[in-house]
Amino acid sequence: MFQNFKWLNQTDVIINENSLIMRAAPKTDFFIDPKDGRRVLSGAYFYQEVNRDFILNTKVTPTFESTYDACALLVMSDETCWAKLCFEFTDIGTYSVVSVVTDGLSDDANGVDVQGESVYLQIVKQGDLFAMHYSLDGKAYKMVRYFSLPMQAQFKVGFVAQSPTGNGGNCAYDDIKFGYHEVKNMRSGI
């Protein structure tokens, strides 16, 4: 599955057939601060280049040690145009599904809090439209965000391990599914 994947900010990784464990290095993130435009694009990003609509989902399990530690899915057109869906240790002490959309500057939106150490994340792209979803069981997905973000003809899709304030940690991605089929309903993810 990972034969065409590449690195931006390579890290230690253990790769299996449809799962991987990535190590987040200390003080790493993907974020362009809307306050001052400061760019941080240092998170470990394991990606493949694609040129068409897709659906990607996986079960993520981070080792939450510090604020903003997260496993994330990231789709990137370039350094100023990208979106990520995270399972993150928030600054209010919860484990939350968090989304960030960057079109010049990043926003930051905490979503649902999750009780437990794992959650399923999903990103769907159709044209310039994206939908982000989460699931507790990998079957019933709920929408986190629905938005438009123009991508270049060739763009990146993959996995991020980040630890913006901490000393790093592991991100496990299990039961990875990636496909080029369309969903019938972007909002429901099916």
Q: Is 10 left (phi over 0), alpha (psi -120 to 50) or beta?
A: beta
What pLDDT is recorded for position 171? 98
What pLDDT is recorded for position 156? 98
- Domain-wise residue ranges, the chain: 6-179
- Candidate CATH numbers 3.20.20.70, 2.60.120.200, 3.30.930.10, 3.90.1720.10; the one for domain 6-179: 2.60.120.200
pTM exceeds cut of 0.95: yes
| Tens-place pLDDT, residues 48-92 | 999 999 999 999 999 999 999 999 999 999 999 999 999 999 999
| Tens-place pLDDT, residues 51-62 | 999 999 999 999
What pLDDT is recorded for position 1? 87
What pLDDT is recorded for position 49? 98
Torsion of CA 120, 76, 112, 43, to 10 degrees: 80
Question: Which residues, given as ranges, of the chain have pLDDT below 50?
Answer: none
What pLDDT is recorded for position 30? 98
